[in-house]
C-alpha cells in the first residue's frame, strides 16, 4: 500500500494547503464562512500541481418540499456523496461527505453537490483557518429536562366474574334499592375492592335468617 502514489501526493497537497481564511459573510445569520468558490480557487492549482483529481458518486438522495417564510415552495435536498481521489498511477482513496441545500427553482441538487465537494476538500486536506472556532471552546448549557410526571397508580377494575355475580344477585332480588343505585352510579368504574365488598354484603343479607313474626 505504501507504494501507491495517491498517499504520497495527498501528503504533498496537505503540506501546501496551509490555510484559507473565512472571508465570505452570511448576511442573514451574521457569520463568516469559506465558500465553494473559495475552495476551488485556492485548491485547484494545488491539486493540479500534484496531479490528483476527484470523481463524485452520489450514494443517497433525500428531497422534500418546504415552505419559505414568504409562503413560497423551497426544494430541500440532502446528498450523500463519495469522492474517489485518483493519482496518475491509478491508485485512489475514497472520502464521503454530505451536502445540503435549498432552492426555490431547480438548483437545490447542484448546490448540494457543490457543498458536499467543498466539505470533502476541506476534510481531506484538513485546510486550516485562523478564524475557526474549536468545538472545545464552546460550552453549551441546555435547560434541564422537566421532571417526568409520575403515572397515577392504577385502580384495579372489577373483573368480569364479579360483574356477572352482581348482575345475578340483582336479577334474583338479593340487592337493595341503595345497592342498585350505587352500582348504577359507579357503572364501569366499579373497582375490584368495591365489587368484592358489595358481594360480601349481599351474601350476608342473603344468608341472614328471616325474622319470625310474633
Query: Residue 14's domain is classified under what CATH number?
Result: 3.30.390.80
Are 168 and 103 within one domain?
Answer: no
Are 85 and 188 within one domain?
Answer: no
Are 14 and 111 within one domain?
Answer: yes
In a domain, residue 86? The reply is: yes
In a domain, residue 212? The reply is: no
In a domain, residue 135? The reply is: no
- Name the DSSP letter for residue 157: B
Higher pLDDT, 97 or 176: 97
Q: How much is the pLDDT for 132?
A: 47
Pick from 82, 108, 130: which residue ends a domain? 130
Are 108 and 29 within one domain?
Answer: yes
Instruction: Give the span between the Cα atoms of 201 and 161, in whole angstroms.
Output: 17
pTM of the model: 0.55
Are 45 and 102 within one domain?
Answer: yes
Are 32 and 106 within one domain?
Answer: yes
Domain interval for residue 66 = 5-130
Are 21 and 101 within one domain?
Answer: yes
Q: How much is the pLDDT for 25?
A: 72
Are 177 and 77 within one domain?
Answer: no
Sheet holding 53-67, edge to edge: 53-67, 73-86, 92-103
In a domain, residue 143? The reply is: no
In a domain, residue 164? The reply is: yes
In a domain, residue 187? The reply is: yes
- Contact criterion met (CB below 8 Å) for 13 and 22: no
Q: How much is the pLDDT for 135?
A: 46
What rounded mean pLDDT belongs to the chain?
81
Instruction: Give the span between the Cα atoms of 109 and 210, in whole angstroms.
Output: 92
Are 126 and 164 within one domain?
Answer: no
* Count of structural domains within the chain: 2
**Residue 57 backbone zone (phi > 0: left; psi -120 to 50: alpha; other: beta):** beta
Q: How much is the pLDDT for 144?
A: 61
Q: How much is the pLDDT for 194?
A: 80
Are 28 and 72 within one domain?
Answer: yes
C-alpha distances in Å from residue 10, one per residue of 7, 73, 96, 182, 207:
5, 42, 16, 86, 98
C-alpha distances in Å from residue 18, one per residue of 46, 114, 122, 144:
11, 22, 11, 42
In a domain, residue 147? The reply is: no
Instruction: Give the span between the Cα atoms of 1 and 22, in whole angstroms.
Output: 36
Instruction: Give the span between the Cα atoms of 36 and 96, in whole angstroms.
Output: 17
Q: How much is the pLDDT for 131?
A: 46
In a domain, residue 137? The reply is: no
Q: Is the pLDDT of residue 8 over 70?
A: yes
Q: How much is the pLDDT for 49?
A: 96
Tell me the per-residue pLDDT of 44-103, one tens digit each, with 9 for 90 and over.
999 999 999 999 999 999 998 887 767 678 889 999 999 999 999 999 999 999 999 998
Q: Is the pLDDT of residue 116 over 60?
A: yes
Are 12 and 112 within one domain?
Answer: yes
Amino acid at each position: 500500500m505504501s507504494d501507491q502514489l495517491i498517499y504520497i501526493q495527498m501528503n504533498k497537497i496537505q503540506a501546501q494547503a496551509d490555510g484559507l481564511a473565512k472571508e465570505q459573510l452570511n448576511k442573514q445569520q451574521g457569520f463568516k464562512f469559506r465558500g465553494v468558490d473559495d475552495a476551488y480557487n485556492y485548491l485547484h492549482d494545488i491539486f493540479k500541481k500534484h496531479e490528483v483529481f476527484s470523481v463524485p458518486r452520489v450514494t443517497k438522495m433525500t428531497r422534500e418540499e418546504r415552505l419559505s417564510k414568504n409562503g413560497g415552495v423551497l426544494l430541500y435536498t440532502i446528498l450523500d456523496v463519495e469522492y474517489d481521489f485518483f493519482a496518475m498511477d491509478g491508485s485512489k482513496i475514497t472520502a464521503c461527505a454530505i451536502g445540503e441545500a435549498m432552492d426555490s427553482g431547480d438548483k437545490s441538487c447542484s448546490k448540494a453537490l457543490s457543498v458536499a465537494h467543498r466539505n470533502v476538500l476541506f476534510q481531506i486536506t484538513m485546510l486550516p483557518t485562523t478564524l475557526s472556532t474549536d468545538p472545545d471552546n464552546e460550552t453549551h448549557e441546555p435547560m434541564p429536562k422537566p421532571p417526568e410526571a409520575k403515572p397515577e397508580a392504577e385502580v384495579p377494575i372489577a373483573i368480569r366474574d364479579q360483574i356477572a355475580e352482581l348482575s345475578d344477585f340483582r336479577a334474583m332480588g338479593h340487592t337493595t334499592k341503595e345497592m342498585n343505585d350505587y352500582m348504577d352510579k359507579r357503572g364501569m368504574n366499579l373497582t375490584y375492592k368495591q365489587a368484592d365488598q358489595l358481594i360480601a354484603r349481599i351474601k350476608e343479607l342473603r344468608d341472614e335468617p328471616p325474622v319470625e313474626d310474633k
